[in-house]
Amino acid sequence: MKRRKEEKAMEIVWQTPEIRPQRQDYFFRDGRRHVRPYNFEFICHVKKRWAGKTIVDLFTDEFKGRPYDYYVSAVKSGRIQVEGVMVPVSYIVKTSQKISHFVHRHEPPVMTCDISILQEEPDVVVVCKPASVPVHSCGQYRKNTVVGILEAEHGLAPLFPIHRLDRLVSGLLILAKSSSKANYFRQQIEGGMVQKQYIARVAGEFPEQEQLVDANVIHDPRECRSTAEVSDLCDDTLIKGKTACTKFTRLSTNGIHSLVLCEPVTGRTHQIRVHLQHVGYPIANDMLYLSKHVNGRSTEGMGADRTAVNSRPFLTSGFCENLSTGHVDPNEDFSIDPMCTNCPNLVPKGYDVHEEALWLHCVRYSAPGWTYECPYPDWASLT
């Protein structure tokens, strides 16, 4: 009863995916774009393998980010409901039932403040995506995304990304303003009509001659990591993963690092990163695929976190370059939720402040009838 009175006093307004991001949802601190924590209704439907479990056991088994005791309290207080009504902690769920989980949502900060619009047409918008910003809603991110920020700050909606860049990758991103235009682009991509170009700063002196890497890519979603494997032509049973091909051309080198043009023929998860590792020249600040010694060369140096801070175009002047601790005065930017497992910290648990920019940048997409390009970042200069 006391908790219900507290929630009533707080006048909680529960957001849903239909409520769009607004400019006032964001604020900037220590060179980071933050989202004010907000109240959100997560909705899911009971899968067949979930049926027969108690509501508390379901959440404890399937959503491990919070402890058992939290889920007991959430069910008792009505923060977890089935078909819009409160249920006891012993309630057995049934297939296809709608379950709502009302949470105080904290999003991780992103490194940059602005998304540069490179070109806008009646049915297309082309931007330079900063590193650390995901393209669209995924995982812990909803508002701190390219799509969310463009809607909040430029009124651009709806938007349909026609290709994806990993969160730590920067560069050219093409978004259609209609589903029909998005389908047009996707048909060209699926038909092999689109040429893609990236640049990467890699460890070591990359060979002067063009390198064509044809190695299957095997992705492990649990580890969020890919591996490359050359198939054995003598034994088809050994072929694993998905076929992948990338062409690499050295643009410049200073003997320690090289700037490489990367032209992926296929589009597999982490393809460029794992293919560069496969030939012994990984991206020079890629902690996921960087070995301490590659081809006899030491690759110790700046990690992605220090690179992010030192990459001036990615920061707005006037902001401190120190990494935020994530703990703030609760009265300054948001209200504390007594049931939230993240409050009073601003950033959610598990956020890695040291994982930021990657030296991989998309520079050009082209097909018959159109070409879009993006300027090089500062790290592309090896002088």
Residue-wise over 255-289: b if at least 16 C-beta within 10 A, else e? Answer: eebbbbbbbbbeebbbbbbbbbbbbbbbbbbbebb
Residue 275: its H or E element: helix 271-278
- Count of domains in the chain? 2
Structural domain of residue 301, as residue ranges? 194-311+357-383
Catalytic residues: 166
Task: Sort residue 221 into left (φ over 0), alpha (ψ -120 to 50) or beta.
Answer: alpha
The candidate with the shortest Cα–Cα distance to 225, out of 187, 182, 181, 271, is 271
Q: How many CA atoms lie within 13 A of 71 on its CB side?
A: 19
Of 105, 133, 155, the last residue of a domain is: 105
User: Alpha-carbon torsion 178, 180, 186, 192, what sign?
Assistant: negative
- The C-alpha atoms of residue 293 and residue 291 are separated, in whole angstroms, by 5
Q: Are 101 and 231 in the same domain?
A: no
In a domain, 201, yes or no: yes
Could you tell me the CATH number of the domain that includes residue 82?
Answer: 3.10.290.10
Q: Are 73 and 203 in the same domain?
A: no
Of 67, 88, 105, the last residue of a domain is: 105
Cα 90 to its chain centre, rounded Å, is 37
Q: Are 203 and 97 in the same domain?
A: no
pTM (2 d.p.): 0.81
* pLDDT recorded at residue 11: 65
Reading the chain (383 residues) residue by residue, the pLDDT tens digits are 444 544 444 567 788 777 889 999 999 988 889 999 999 999 999 999 999 999 999 999 999 889 999 999 999 999 999 999 999 999 999 999 999 999 999 999 998 768 999 999 999 999 999 999 999 988 889 999 999 999 999 999 999 999 999 999 999 999 999 999 999 999 999 999 999 999 999 999 999 999 999 999 888 887 788 888 876 655 555 567 888 899 999 999 999 999 999 999 988 889 999 999 999 999 999 988 986 545 544 444 444 433 333 333 332 222 223 333 444 444 456 788 999 999 999 989 877 666 668 999 999 999 999 999 999 999 999 87
In a domain, 46, yes or no: yes
Q: Are 266 and 364 in the same domain?
A: yes
* pLDDT recorded at residue 230: 76
In a domain, 134, yes or no: no
In a domain, 114, yes or no: no
In a domain, 320, yes or no: no
* pLDDT recorded at residue 96: 95
Beta carbons within 8 Å of 128's beta carbon, 6+ residues apart: 115, 116, 118, 170, 171, 172, 173, 374, 375
Q: Are 231 and 378 in the same domain?
A: yes
Could you tell me the CATH number of the domain that includes residue 260?
Answer: 3.30.2350.10
Residue 85 has which token pair?
């009504």
In a domain, 113, yes or no: no
